Amino acid sequence: MDFNFTEEQDMVRDGLSRLVREQYDWETRRKAIASTEGWRPEVWAQLAELGILGMPFSEADGGFGGGAVDAMVIMEEFGKGLVVEPFIPTVVCAGGFLKHGGTAAQKEEHIGAIVSGSAVFAFAYAEPRGRYDYADLETTAKKDGAGYVLNGHKAVVIGAPWASHLVVTARTGGERRDRSGVSVFVLAKDTPGVTTRDYVTVDGRRASEVYFENVAVGVDSLIGVEGEGLALIELVTDDAIAALCAEACGAMKVAHAMTVEYSRQRKQFGVPIGKFQVLQHRMVDMYTAYEQAVSLTYLATLRLGSDEVERKKAVSAAKVGVGQAARLIGQEAVQIHGGNGVTDEYAIGHYFKRLTIFDSEFGNVDHHLKRHVALS
Amino acid sequence: MNLEFTPEEQAFRDEVRAFIAENYPKHLADFGMREDMAREDFLAWHKILGKKGWSVPAWPVEYGGTGWTPTQRYIWSEENARASTVMPLPFGVSMVGPVIYTFGSEEQKSRHLPGIVSGDVWWCQGYSEPGAGSDLASLKTTAVRDGDHYIINGQKTWTTLAQHADWGFFLCRTDPTAKQQEGISFILVDMKTPGVEVKPIKLLDGGYEVNETWLTDVRVPVENLVGQENKGWTYAKFLLAHERSGIAGVARSKRGVEKLREIATHETLDGAPLIKDFDFAKKVSQLEIDLAALEITELRTLAGEQAGKGPGPESSILKIKGTEIQQRLTELTLEAVGTYSAPYMGGVSNDNSNEHPVGPDYATHAAATYFNMRKTSIYGGSNEIQRNIITKMILGL
């Protein structure tokens, strides 16, 4: 049992922390998310240069041989700065599908492009009526000669406006919510028949509704075995949830620190409000919730390679516990900031917004509590 | 980073498990701790461990510690929880022992530590007073120097299991003119000294776990002063931090959740096992999730200790969350047994009834345990005091 980070992991953290501090300051971020592009490709290029985008891939696949703990370290730093660049969709999700289910040719084609920063991916799994069930799919992929034809509508595809490629889930057989009959495809976003409606999300990122109308892809577009994609999706999204929890931990850490600092500065009744025990104890409860969330994130991250039940239970435990902590810390941080907490000007509100949307990604607290019960 | 045991740690776990299976007293098997046990039952496992050299694992090796790593200590407490053993009481092992070997004289070490290691000497804690609870430093019990003795006068309360105690460690005011925290001394008292009187307090569960301890002109030799006169508050705080680090009770709570699931498998709702009811199962899962978080938080703290950091203010988190979880567990257990939570079986200390309890065996103590465990968020520095500690030491407010 070991809770230490390696020297390399400490270096990654220090490097990223510097990058976020020096190039992702609040004003720069504010301008970038309000710009037409909504992100900064030059930051993405820097992440590639620093080796961040290649971290979780094996050396044989062209990466740097890191793993889930590295992704955790990276996402925690991103969370601290509310970095919007799509590491999870590209590296953890698309990268994960390629690693766990990709053919040699698919890895060859895509992993190098991810590592170098030239390909950006979005993961189109959610649907307007599917909620958090990866198998509740209305999007279809019908076998057609040498390939498949995709039809359907994918909802809130994070990072899709920036993406060059998509990973898409679709039903190749079975009934709407069957566990079998689910397949995963990778394709270029400019494949004919793919259209998007792009928009801004409340937490400062970009997303799209993605429509597929008779989109023809080759068999080489299929990742894994036709109709047996659900287990692969669960495996990859569990990786994504662990990384997402790490991001939330980073954001909670900063939100808590900002709140404590604010309570030191802000005076009412002639004293800093941080002198009031009623607020002190609330900030302690935020701190305790944060520490427990970090622990659950470690647990989930370290169980990603365990057997299926153990892995899913640990990941669901983390999504529940981190989700609850995120809500508590976000709401309390705003409350203790008083009126300033509900302004657009103060950073704290933006942390609150990111921590709010976190809950709805890859299943919320209720969804994962249900999954935990089902596995117990 | 990883959560796996090394082959050596797995071998250690097997060794410990086998030792418990072979040596733990059969009549106390799967019993847990009960306040109404006889003195010899409380001490039985302690004495066996004393002979084996395993009674004070966390102590320095020179005083009887095992030199185990934090992971080994974690395995040790897991295995004991698994077997629901009656563990050595904390008053000697985790409280006064570390104070004596850290601050005590050589004479005190050689006189008192062996009895704690062997389990022959029972210690109790004289901290709280009727007027000094959370505000412990306002304590009024005095120790006045008279030649080679201190004369102690005052009243202590909540003295846990003092009815069995041979010795007690007491916080006494030795300088009434100094600022509150600066006039307190840490003094060891032989409980057989004339003037020491222990009176039981009946608690909500019907049992007698704590006492009032009256001290009237109790003459104690000055060599029973630990460390320096008027520095007792420093030792008291040191002790409280040590007390808190074991207070999380993670392994025991894990066993408790297993038992809760067993109960909820026997109990029925709408003709199906209670555990199949989603509303109930959800509460159990939430408890397990909180407990999983606490387990990793404790392991992180232990890893910090291994890296040379003593138990710091982080241990306040363990105290708060650990006791919240213990209480939630007893609350859900009470809920699970349903209507049979109500019959009063004469209190856990009352054995004058030979009648078999009504209802299932697992229901008998559910309410008493629930009532009893309300103490956990109050003792050891109430959870509100723990929040004050975190405010000051971690948030810096």
Q: Is B318 on the interface with A (CB under 8 A)?
A: no
A344 touches chain B (CB under 8 A): no
Range of the domain at A73: 7-118
Of A277, A287, A321, the CB nearest to B395: A287
Subunit contact B294:A4, Cβ cutoff 8 A: no
| Overall size of chain B counted in residues | 397
- Please indicate whether, in this complex, the C-beta atoms of A281 and B297 are within 8 angstroms of each other: no
The CA–CA distances, whole Å, from A204 to A27, A31, A32, A82, B167 equal 13, 11, 10, 9, 64
Which residue out of B314, B320, B386, B391 would a mutagenesis test of the A interface target, given it has the greatest number of A Cβ atoms within 10 Å?
Answer: B391
**Nearest-by-Cβ selection for A283 from B285, B297, B395:** B395
Using CA coordinates, name the residue in chain A closest to B261: A376
User: Of the residues A192, A210, A227, which one is the last residue of a structural domain?
Assistant: A227
- Is pLDDT at B310 greater than 70 in this prediction? no
Residues in chain B with CB shorter than 8 Å from the CB of A287 are 317, 390, 394-395
CA distances from B217 to A111, A202, B136, B195, B214 (A): 82, 72, 22, 6, 10
**Looking at B78, B129, B229, B243, which residue is catalytic?**
B243
Say if B68 is an interface residue toward chain A (CB within 8 Å): no
Same-domain check for residues A223 and A273: no
> A178-199 pLDDT, tens per residue?
999 999 999 999 999 999 999 9
Q: What is the mean pLDDT of residues B295-309?
A: 83
| Range of weakest confidence among A91-100, B200-209, B225-234, B298-307 | B298-307
When CB atoms are compared, the residue of B71, B289, B395 closest to A1 is B71
User: What does pLDDT average to over chain B?
Assistant: 92
- The pair of structure tokens assigned to B130 is 């009727």
- pLDDT: is B127 or A2 the higher one? B127
**Within a domain: residue A55?**
yes
**In chain B, positions 321-360, which contact chain A (CB-CB < 8 Å)?**
321
Predicted pLDDT of residue B240 = 78
pLDDT at B233 (0 to 100):
96
CA distance A245 to chain B (A): 13
Both tokens assigned to B169 = 């460690």
For B318, which residue in chain A has the nearest alpha carbon?
A: A288
Closest chain A CA to residue B10:
A1
Judge contact between A326 and A368, C-beta under 8 A: no
Residues A129 and A189 in one domain: yes
Note whether A236 and A364 are same-domain residues: yes
Decide if pLDDT at A79 tops 70.
yes
Residue A348 tokens, joined: 């704290």
Q: What is the pLDDT of residue B344?
A: 84
For residue A57, the one-letter residue type is F
Q: Is B62 labeled as catalytic in the residue annotation? A: no
Q: How confident is the model at residue A77 (pLDDT cuts 50, 70, 90)?
A: very high
CB pairs < 8 Å spanning A and B? 116
Task: Tell how far CA B313 is from the center of its chain.
Answer: 18
* Predicted pLDDT of residue A285: 98
Using a pLDDT cut of 90, give the percent of chain A over it.
Answer: 98
Q: Which amino acid, residue B62? A: E
Q: DSSP assignment, residue B129?
A: B
A295 touches B: beta carbon within 8 Å: yes
Report CB contact under 8 Å: A299, B293.
yes
Q: Strand (E) positions, chain B?
A: 123-126, 142-146, 149-156, 167-173, 184-190, 196-201, 210-221, 225-226, 268-269, 272-273
Of A254, A288, A87, which Cα lies nearest the Cα of B248?
Answer: A288
Structure confidence at residue B349 as a pLDDT band (50, 70, 90): very low
In a domain, A110, yes or no: yes
Instruction: Report chain B residues whose CB lies below 8 A from the CB of A368.
Output: none
Q: Are residues A235 and A370 in the same domain?
A: yes
B279 vs A: CB within 8 A: no
Chain B residues whose CB is inside 8 A of the A373 CB are 278, 281-282, 284-285
Query: Which residues in chain B are contacts of A1 at CB distance < 8 A?
Result: 2-5, 9, 71, 74, 299, 303
Judged against a pLDDT cut of 60, whether residue B347 lies above it is answered with: no
Tokens of A14: 């220090």
Instruction: Give the Cα separation of B131 and B157 in Å (integer).
Output: 10
**pLDDT over threshold 50, residue A21:** yes
Residue A198 included in any domain: yes
Q: How many CB atoms lie within 10 A of CB A330?
A: 26
- What average pLDDT does range B329-347 have in this prediction? 89
The answer to the question of residue A186 being in a domain is yes
- Tens of pLDDT, residues B149-195: 999 999 999 999 999 999 999 999 999 999 989 999 999 999 999 99
Condensed to tens digits (0 to 9), the pLDDT of residues A133-153 reads 999 999 999 999 999 999 999
Tell the residue number behind the tokens 């020179």, with chain if given: B62
Chain A: closest CA distance from residue B82 (Å):
19
Residue B88, pLDDT > 50, answer: yes
CB distance from B175 to chain A under 8 Å? no
CA-closest candidate to residue A16, choices A88, A93, A58, A75:
A75
Structure tokens at A241: 């949830």
Tokens for B366, please give them.
Answer: 């559910």
Torsions phi, psi for B33 (to 5 deg): -95, 135
pLDDT in tens, A261-311: 999 999 999 999 999 999 999 999 999 999 999 999 999 999 999 999 999
Burial A344-364 (b: 16+ CB within 10 A, else e): eebebbbbbbbbebbbebbbb
Residue A275 CA to residue A373 CA, distance in Å, equals: 42
Q: Check which CATH number belongs to the domain holding A314 and give it.
A: 1.20.140.10
Helix (H) or strand (E) holding A196, with range, is strand A194-200
A210 and A190 housed in the same domain:
yes
Q: Sort out which chain B residues have CB atoms less than 8 A from A281's CB and list them.
A: 384, 387, 391
Interchain contact B278–A (C-beta under 8 A):
yes
CA atoms of B196 and B189, how far apart (whole Å): 9
Does A16 share its domain with A79? yes
Q: In 3-state terms, what secondary structure has residue B43?
A: helix
Q: How far is B70 from chain A (nearest CA, A)?
A: 10
- Same domain? For A250 and A371 the reply is yes
CATH of the domain at A163: 2.40.110.10
pLDDT band at B350 (very low <50, low <70, confident <90, very high): very low
Q: Is residue A2 assigned to a domain?
A: no
What pLDDT is attached to residue A2? Answer: 86
Report d(CA B59, CA B44) in Å as an integer.
20
Are residues A48 and A168 both part of a single domain? no
Are A376 and A313 in contact, with CB atoms under 8 Å apart?
yes
Residue B2 to residues A122, A202, B299, Cα–Cα distance (Å): 30, 36, 12
Tokens encoding A108: 């060859």
CATH code for the domain of A93: 1.10.540.10
Residues of chain B contacting A332 with CB distance shorter than 8 Å = none
Higher-pLDDT residue of B355, B199: B199
State how many domains chain A has.
3
A248 shares its domain with A330: yes
Q: Are the Cβ atoms of B321 and A277 closer than 8 angstroms?
A: no
Question: Where would I find the H helices in chain A?
Answer: 7-23, 26-34, 41-49, 68-81, 87, 95-101, 104-116, 230-265, 277-302, 308-336, 347-358, 365-375
How far out from the chain centre does Cα B380 lie? 9
B3 vs A1, A280, A296: nearest CB: A1
Best residue of A277, A278, A295, A376 to probe chain B, by most B CBs closer than 10 Å: A295
Least confident span in A54-63, A331-340, B106-115: A54-63
Residue A1 lies in a domain: no
B122 inside 8 A of chain A by CB: no
Q: What percentage of chain B carries pLDDT values higher than 70?
A: 94
| Backbone torsion region of residue A67, taken as left when φ is above 0, otherwise alpha when ψ lies between -120 and 50, otherwise beta | beta
pLDDT tens column, A328-365 = 999 999 999 999 999 999 999 999 999 999 999 999 99
Position A236 in a domain: yes
pLDDT of residue B312: 74
Q: Do residues B299 and B74 lie in contact, with contact meaning Cβ atoms separated by under 8 Å?
A: yes
Q: Kindly list the residues from chain A whose CB atom is less than 8 angstroms away from the CB atom of residue B284.
A: 373, 376
Put simply, the chain A residues between 108 and 167 with a CB less than 8 A from any chain B CB are: none
Contact A4 B303 (CB under 8 A): yes
**CA B230 → CA A43, B128, B290, distances in Å?**
60, 18, 41
* Burial class of residue A272, CB neighbours in 10 A (0-12, 13-18, 19+): middle
Alpha carbons A68 and A54: distance in angstroms, whole number = 12
- In this structure, the answer to whether residues A290 and A354 fall within a common structural domain is yes
Dihedral (CA of B138, B144, B149, B152) sign: negative
- Looking at A206, A227, A248, which one is the last position of a domain? A227
B216/A contact by beta carbon, under 8 A? no
**Res. B348: pLDDT tops 60:** no
Non-local CB neighbours of B119 within 8 Å, separated by 6+ positions: B43, B46, B47, B49, B50, B55, B88
Q: Report the candidate in B384, B243, B395, B213 with the shortest Cα–Cα distance to residue B311.
A: B243
Q: Residue A271: what residue type?
A: V
Q: Hey, is B172 helix, strand or coil?
A: strand
Q: For chain B, which domains are there? A: 7-88 (1.10.540.10), 123-231 (2.40.110.10), 246-395 (1.20.140.10)
Report, as an integer, the average pLDDT of A56-85: 96
Cα of A26 to nearest chain B Cα, Å = 24
Contacts of residues B352-357 at CB distance under 8 Å and 24 or more positions apart, as own/partner, are none
Whole-number Å distance between alpha carbons of B217 and B191: 13
Mean pLDDT of chain A: 97
**Is the domain of A151 the same as that of A245?**
no
Q: Is A370 on the interface with B (CB under 8 A)?
A: yes
Strands B167-173 and B123-126: parallel
Note whether B2 contacts A302, CB cutoff 8 Å. Answer: yes
Contact A332, A286 (CB under 8 A): yes
CA B321 to each of CA A188, B291, B324, B373: distance values in angstroms, whole numbers, following the listed order: 49, 8, 5, 14
Q: How far apart are alpha carbons B371 and B373 in whole angstroms? A: 6
Under 8 Å between Cβ of A166 and A97: no
Contacts of A7 in chain B (CB under 8 A): none
Specify whether A266 is located in the same domain as A318: yes
Q: A66 pLDDT exceeds 90?
A: yes
Of A192, A227, A262, the residue that ends a domain is: A227
pLDDT band with cut points at 50, 70 and 90 for residue B307: confident
Chain A: give the shortest CA distance to residue B275, in Å.
Answer: 10
Tell me the residue type at B85: T
Residues of A with Cβ-Cβ distance to B295 under 8 angstroms: 295
